[in-house]
């Protein structure tokens, strides 16, 4: 079995190790070392990355007590290699993971809910709890979590004896009574966990609860801590800065300005729609009384406006009234008639004018790919 260096010291970035086994598994090279600081994918946390010699470590998994390092090139069995983990990636995860313990501990203590899911990926940290929480409750949790950071309390890990263990009250209780690794955030949380954590809570930096949503009868909470909270703040700050300049509004009230802008935009949209519909009615009045079919082209009309024209003017045309919008190659049409049953002929019309469409109540809507002259000539002869 591989010696797990990350159990004794979460800060080991470089180490020497000997290759015990090297195999090809699922088209990838899998390496087993005598000792490793690479933490495998476990409990929702993605694996460490880095190098073994010049071989790049792409993924790390635990299988039957062995830690399998999946690498991109060949390594020699029996040889020793200098190994290096990507510690900036690892340290971000240690910050987020320790933050998760503090948050879960606070939620458990305040609201009696348990953590039932955790995901710590490259960009996102989510945790699931088995009950509903409000923003106010999460604000309270967030404040406690940051107080734990400012208190800079130690984070201790230990393997208690089974007697000691049975006397302890801790989160993530398993059926195991031996080799249970406890992580204690002094004064804040006690939980069974095998991942690497920071040594003092002050190393976590800011803990921010971002959004949350209902998820499978409970709450999924999205958090950011440490460097990731900084990156998140940077991104959001630059967005608020931009929005503040666009709306000429101070940053703290930029959402109020956006709301008021949106309200006036919706108002203008409604007024424009009414004015355009009125214009369509005027166009309908201008349509002359016609013997036979009539094709009218309005390049910029919406379907609602075309329907208005068709309804108002159909009685002026003894044959078929065709309202077109768009341009050559892509006309949208509405056809209507008081005398001709369009349901019997629209398929033939579509076929002749490279069109498609359908409808009911003797109003057919669709599109023609034919050009304007062909459409006009076709209806002149129909
Ligand atoms: Zn943990």
DSSP string, 15-35: EEEEEEEEEEETTEEEEEESE
Sequence-ordered list of residues with C-beta below 8 angstroms from that of 330, at least 6 positions apart, any chain? 367, 369
CATH for 90-234? Answer: 3.30.980.10
**Other Cβ atoms within 10 Å of 353 Cβ, number:** 21
The CA 96 to ligand 1 mean position distance, Å, reads 10
What's the gap in Å between 48 CA and the centre of ligand 1?
Answer: 15
pLDDT tens for the 382 residues of the chain, in order: 899 999 999 999 999 999 999 998 777 899 999 999 999 999 899 999 999 999 999 999 999 889 999 999 999 999 999 999 999 999 999 999 999 999 999 999 999 999 999 999 888 999 999 999 999 999 999 999 999 999 999 999 999 999 999 999 999 877 777 889 999 999 999 999 999 999 999 999 999 999 999 999 999 999 999 999 999 999 999 999 999 999 999 999 999 999 999 999 999 999 999 999 999 999 999 999 999 999 999 999 999 999 999 999 999 999 999 999 999 889 999 999 999 999 999 999 999 999 999 998 899 999 999 999 999 999 999 8
**Ligand 1 geometric centre to CA of 201 (Å):** 13
Q: Which fold has domain 275-381?
A: Diaminopimelate Epimerase; Chain A, domain 1 (3.10.310)
Distant-in-sequence, close-in-space partners of 39: CB < 8 Å, separation ≥ 6: 6, 45, 47, 48, 60, 90, 195, 196
Measured in Å, residue 152 CA sits from the centre of ligand 1 at: 17
Span from the CA of 191 to the centroid of ligand 1 (angstroms): 7
Ligand 1 centroid–CA 30 distance in Å is: 26
Question: Exposed e or buried b for every residue in 267-301, given b needs 16+ CB within 10 A?
Answer: eeeeeeeeebeeebeebbeebeeeeebbbbbbeeb
Query: What is the number of other CB atoms lying within 10 angstroms of the CB of residue 180?
Result: 21
What is the predicted pLDDT for the residue at 175? 75
Amino acid 15: pLDDT: 98
pLDDT at 222: 98
* C-beta separation of 344 from 317 below 8 A: no
214 Cα to the center of ligand 1, angstroms: 24
pLDDT at residue 1 in the model: 82
Q: What does the alpha-carbon distance between residue 379 and residue 377 come to, in Å, rounded to a whole number?
A: 6
Q: How far is the CA of 50 from the centre of ligand 1 (A)?
A: 21
Contact yes or no for 371/334 (Cβ under 8 A): no
Ligand 1 center–CA 325 separation, angstroms: 63
pLDDT of residue 172: 86
CA distance 79 to 16: 10
- pLDDT given at position 30: 96
In the reported structure, the alpha carbon of residue 371 is separated from the centroid of ligand 1 by a whole-number distance in angstroms of 69
Lookup: tokens for 320: 């078929």
Question: Ligand 1: distance of its center to the CA of 1 in Å?
Answer: 22
d(CA 117, ligand 1 centre) in Å: 12
Tokens of 157: 């890990």
Residue 171 CA, ligand 1 centroid: distance in Å: 11
Instruction: Give the distance (Å) from ligand 1 centre to CA of residue 183.
Output: 7
**Of the options 3.40.50.970, 1.10.3720.10, 2.40.110.10, 2.40.30.130, the CATH number for the domain spanning 3-85:** 2.40.30.130
Q: What is the pLDDT of residue 105?
A: 97
> Residue 343 C-alpha to ligand 1 middle, in angstroms?
69
CA of 121 to the centre of ligand 1 (A): 14
Between strands 294-297 and 320-327, the pairing is: parallel
- Answer whether 201's CB lies under 8 Å from 148's CB: yes
Q: Partners of 359 in the beta sheet? A: 364
Residue pair 353/374 in contact (Cβ under 8 Å)? The answer is yes
CA gap 344, 291 in Å, rounded: 21
CA of 186 to the centre of ligand 1 (A): 14
Q: Do domains 3-85 and 90-234 have the same CATH topology?
A: no
- What is the whole-number distance in angstroms between the Cα of residue 4 and the centre of ligand 1? 15
The per-residue pLDDT for 179 is 87
**145 Cα–ligand 1 center, Å:** 15
Compute the distance from residue 197 Cα to the ligand 1 centre, in Å.
6
Domain ranges of the chain: 3-85, 90-234, 275-381
DSSP, residue by residue, 291-321? SS-EEEE-TT--HHHHHHHHHHHGGGBSSEE
Q: How far is the CA of 194 from the centre of ligand 1 (A)?
A: 6
């Amino acid at each position: 079995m591989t010696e797990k260096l990350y159990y004794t010291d979460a800060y080991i970035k470089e180490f020497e190790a000997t290759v015990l086994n090297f195999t090809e598994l699922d088209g990838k090279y899998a390496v087993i070392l005598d000792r490793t600081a690479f933490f495998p994918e476990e409990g929702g946390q993605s694996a460490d990355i880095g190098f073994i010699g010049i071989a790049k470590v792409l993924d790390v998994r635990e299988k039957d007590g062995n830690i399998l390092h999946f690498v991109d090139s060949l390594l020699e069995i029996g040889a020793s290699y200098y190994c290096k983990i990507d510690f900036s990636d690892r340290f971000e995860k240690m910050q987020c993971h320790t933050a998760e313990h503090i948050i879960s501990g606070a939620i458990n203590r305040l609201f009696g809910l348990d953590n039932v899911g955790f995901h710590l990926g490259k960009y996102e940290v989510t945790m699931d709890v088995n009950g509903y929480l409000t923003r106010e409750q999460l604000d309270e949790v967030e404040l406690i979590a940051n107080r734990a950071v400012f208190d800079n309390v130690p984070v201790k890990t230990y393997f208690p004896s089974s007697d000691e263990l049975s006397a302890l009250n801790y989160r993530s209780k398993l059926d195991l009574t031996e080799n249970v690794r406890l992580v204690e955030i002094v004064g804040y949380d006690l939980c069974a966990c095998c991942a690497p954590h920071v040594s003092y809570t002050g190393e976590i930096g800011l803990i921010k609860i971002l959004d949350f949503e209902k998820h499978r009868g409970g709450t999924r909470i999205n958090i950011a801590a440490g460097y990731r909270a900084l990156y998140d703040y940077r991104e959001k700050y630059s967005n608020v800065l931009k929005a503040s300049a666009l709306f000429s509004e101070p940053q703290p009230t930029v959402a109020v300005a956006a709301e008021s802008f949106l309200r006036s935009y919706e108002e203008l949209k409604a007024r424009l729609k009414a004015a355009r519909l009125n214009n369509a009615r005027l166009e309908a009045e201008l349509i002359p009384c016609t013997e036979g079919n009539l094709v009218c082209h309005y390049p910029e009309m919406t379907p609602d406006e075309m329907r208005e024209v068709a309804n108002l003017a159909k009685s002026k045309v003894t044959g078929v009234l065709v309202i077109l919008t768009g341009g050559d190659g892509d006309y949208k049409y509405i056809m209507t008639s008081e005398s001709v049953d369009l349901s019997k002929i629209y398929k033939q019309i579509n076929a002749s004018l490279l069109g498609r469409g359908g409808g009911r109540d003797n109003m057919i809507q669709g599109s023609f790919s034919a050009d304007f002259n062909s459409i006009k000539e076709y209806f002149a002869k129909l």
